[in-house]
Amino acid sequence: MKQINIGIIGLGVVGSAVAEALKRNAALVAAQSGIQLNVKKGCDLRKVKAACPVTSDAYALINDPEIKIIVETMGGVNPAKKFVLDALAAGKHVVTSNKELVASHMPELLSAAKRRNVSLLYEASVGGGVPILAALRKNLAGNTLTEVYGIVNGTTNYILSTMAEEGKEFSEALNEAQEKGYAEANPKKDIEGYDAAYKAVILAAEAFGERVKLDSVYREGIEKISGEDILYAREIGFAIKLLAIAQKGDRGVDVRVHPALVPLSHPLAGVRKNFNAIYVQGYPVGELMFYGPGAGGEPTASAIISDLIELGQAGTIFRRELKDATVKPIAEIVSRYYLRLQVSDKVGVLASIAKIFAEKNVSIAAVIQKETVGSLATLVIMLDEAVEKNIQAAISAAKKLSVVNRVNNLIRIL
Amino acid sequence: MKQINIGIIGLGVVGSAVAEALKRNAALVAAQSGIQLNVKKGCDLRKVKAACPVTSDAYALINDPEIKIIVETMGGVNPAKKFVLDALAAGKHVVTSNKELVASHMPELLSAAKRRNVSLLYEASVGGGVPILAALRKNLAGNTLTEVYGIVNGTTNYILSTMAEEGKEFSEALNEAQEKGYAEANPKKDIEGYDAAYKAVILAAEAFGERVKLDSVYREGIEKISGEDILYAREIGFAIKLLAIAQKGDRGVDVRVHPALVPLSHPLAGVRKNFNAIYVQGYPVGELMFYGPGAGGEPTASAIISDLIELGQAGTIFRRELKDATVKPIAEIVSRYYLRLQVSDKVGVLASIAKIFAEKNVSIAAVIQKETVGSLATLVIMLDEAVEKNIQAAISAAKKLSVVNRVNNLIRIL
């Protein structure tokens, strides 16, 4: 049986779970895949206990001629990028879980791999244990895919689920997530949608063959979502989820990350806690959804081992050519919207707001007046499909009305 | 670019969708997979219009030296089995959507393939467009899988969803499903769980490497589920779904098909209409769910094309060795249960029923008295985890009580 030696750079939660799972499942992996995956060495600067020999010198792995595949599970761009490029240059396949690195430097990394006729795989970079990238790259390669979107950040889904199920406000739910280990001490990358944006870039590449620059992804986080929004949304049949969205149209791709109202009948609406789920639409397959644990050492280890098995079985791996994407600006997208406003509780307020929206070609689908506090009333307005720039113009104009006290939130509807 | 000629035997809904999709997506498939898939000929006894040349002679395909892969989309065991065996014997790879054939004759078919060093793939046989078998065979090959279960029959899920959402009874919902083309004129194979049993056999093979004989799969259909059961189940937080279940324990596998109460918080509970969803549990991955269209020409075509691409890219495909399964008899399984009874509306009835259950070591978790009609009351009893044979013995004994008018239904709880 073919034996393949592996080196793991970064023995944190994910790297050590890979070494542990390959040890515990060794016989089974061999029986199920026909190859023996042997972790020859791991590398970490910290003193760590792992199910493999440990060194602090990454080049003891990169320069080891017996090691055929380097697993990079450090995270962050530096020094991970240098290690990955050097490993590829040394003729080794690289498997990484590093979404920030892949999303920020995909063209450079893929060219480096191609130059030495080796492969770079990164199943673990999106959806944790969910085998979404292999599905897009292989199982769905016969499809014309048009949409890939979903819940790709466990931290924000945990927070939004807790807010919805326990009636908590954002800051309380964030605290709870931090206490339970679902959010980091500095939660900025998750909360503000950076992590989801990395994944959107990767999904667009795998689904459509489009190379999207990270800074062309429109990004909005969940920090402005309040308990009220979640409550009002549910009353009218929606859940609020942070979505990464990639859609392919005739005139480019639409790649963005923002909270969205998802109909309760949609399978994404029921995705709870820190789970992830990715929805795919195409011809001939129709609609698919892939659901599972979006993070955590063990699930992510499963994804890494999946890449290792593929490399072990296949040798070289077919990759479609990527082309530079034309990304649709957010101002050009068409969506339905949920709008929450605080207005004076007076006769004629709604008429003046409706007039302003009509002038910008935005039509109102429904208005619900929520509680009145003193002389102020909360209005929830559902807007029909409209171009985003018209919505924004209407809101700017509405803000200038003396009867509009505050625009609390504008949330797109899936 | 590598070109592969294909022959399709059976140009019904699925076969013709394969030819059509490969024609429409030809350039894209080549770009996304690196191979050109060319449908050289199709075969059907009926006069059909298809996106490929058509013959009525299957051997014009099987004996064509230019054809490397035969797609079998006839369905049924005869004559499909002969065509598949002859194609394998002629040294051709075979891709089939035929769950009945694969589930009934897997060992013979796989041996025939092995003898000529070709592959038999059948992604389309379970879950329609959902790439579940590739996930089990490849992406999850690093995992020790313990459970695979789910909704694998679209017809019964359509009927159960319609009953739940529209308050219809079974026969009405079946009629509606037939009118809309979701159920066949003779719906026996779907309704009574045969189709799901085929899929359970295939899932057990792919997930656990266990060769389960079709007739050792315990099977119960949905024909006894009433609107009342669905209503009562929902009141206590459950949906009723027909599940195919395969579990691996220390002492064999547990493979069965029956309706089950699924907690509303479980992602399977929200699977509506004719969709399928398969849940997988293992180490290190944790829990995954794969959701999508379980039938229909186009989704099934996507699964077939996935197999074609894999064969085109890989040449030979690794398959784990299967071993004969020891299947746990249904009498030995452990489950929680929902029981609906019609009893005399008298003092002391519950006490006498509880006594009989206690004698058989079955404890009652909760009792809900539902409507009373004349002198008869409906009881819904939730039973704690117990061994099935004890439950059955308790029910037999309860039926003999003069106060028990009827045992309406016993449904296992997931």
What mean pLDDT value characterizes chain B?
96
Superfamily of domain A135-294: Dihydrodipicolinate Reductase; domain 2 (3.30.360.10)
Which residue of chain B is at minimal alpha-carbon distance from A264?
Answer: B270
**Of the candidate ranges A121-135, A165-179, A359-373, B324-338, the one whose mean pLDDT is the lowest:** A359-373
Q: Could you tell me which of A394, A386, A382, A390 has the C-alpha nearest to residue A340?
A: A382
Residue A390 CB neighbours (<10 A): 17
Q: To 10 degrees, the CA torsion angle through A141, A142, A144, A149?
A: -40
Task: Say which of A288, A297, A320 has its CB closest to residue B291.
Answer: A288
Contact A29 B272 (CB under 8 A): no
Is A199 labeled as catalytic in the residue annotation?
yes
Contact A129 B320 (CB under 8 A): no
Q: Provide the pLDDT for residue B315.
A: 65
Is B215 in CB contact (< 8 Å) with chain A?
no
Distance CA B329, CA B212 (A): 12
Partners of residue A22 in chain B, C-beta under 8 Å: 142
Which residue of chain B is at minimal alpha-carbon distance from A321?
Answer: B31
List pLDDT tens digits, range A281-303. Answer: 999 999 999 999 999 999 999 99
Contact B287 A293 (CB under 8 A): yes
Contact A318 B313 (CB under 8 A): yes
Contact B209 A31 (CB under 8 A): yes
Binned at pLDDT 50, 70 and 90, residue A370 comes out as confident
Q: Which overall architecture, per CATH, does domain B330-413 show? A: 2-Layer Sandwich (3.30)
pTM for the model:
0.97
Binned at pLDDT 50, 70 and 90, residue B196 comes out as very high
Partners of residue B297 in chain A, C-beta under 8 Å: 284
Partners of residue B285 in chain A, C-beta under 8 Å: 129, 292-293, 298-299, 302
Contact B292 A292 (CB under 8 A): no
Which of A147, A285, A287, A321 to mutate to test binding with chain B, by most B CBs within 10 Å of its CB?
Answer: A285
Which residue of chain A is at minimal alpha-carbon distance from B273?
Answer: A265
Is residue A294 a contact partner of residue A221, using CB atoms and an 8 Å limit?
Answer: no
List pLDDT tens digits, range B55-108. Answer: 999 999 999 999 999 999 999 999 999 999 999 999 999 999 999 999 999 999
Domain range summary for chain B, segments of one domain joined by +: 2-125, 138-292, 330-413
Distance CA A94, CA B364 (A): 56
Q: Provide the pLDDT for residue B404.
A: 95
Q: Coil, helix or strand for B363?
A: coil
Q: Provide the pLDDT for residue A251.
A: 83
Mean pLDDT score, B112-131: 97
List pLDDT tens digits, range B267-294. Answer: 999 999 999 999 999 999 999 999 999 9
Is B26 in CB contact (< 8 Å) with chain A?
no
Fold type of domain B138-292: Dihydrodipicolinate Reductase; domain 2 (3.30.360)
Partners of residue B282 in chain A, C-beta under 8 Å: 302
List pLDDT tens digits, range A217-258. Answer: 999 999 999 999 999 999 999 999 999 999 998 889 999 999
**Of the candidate ranges A65-74, B163-172, B313-322, the one whose mean pLDDT is the lowest:** B313-322
Q: Cα A172–A181–A227 angle (5° rounding)?
A: 25
Contact B289 A288 (CB under 8 A): no
Distance CA A22, CA B61 (A): 44
Is residue B98 a contact partner of residue B89, using CB atoms and an 8 Å limit?
Answer: no
Tokens 């649709």 locate to: A328
User: What residues have CB less than 8 Å from A115, skipping those under 6 apart?
Assistant: A88, A89
Which of A20, A139, A206, A308 to mutate to test binding with chain B, by most B CBs within 10 Å of its CB?
Answer: A139
What mean pLDDT value characterizes chain A?
96
B137 secondary structure, DSSP code? I
Is A150 in CB contact (< 8 Å) with chain B?
no
Q: Does domain B2-125 have CATH number 3.40.50.720?
A: yes
Q: Provide the pLDDT for residue A103.
A: 98
Residue type, A50: A
Contact A141 B293 (CB under 8 A): no
B58 secondary structure, DSSP code? T
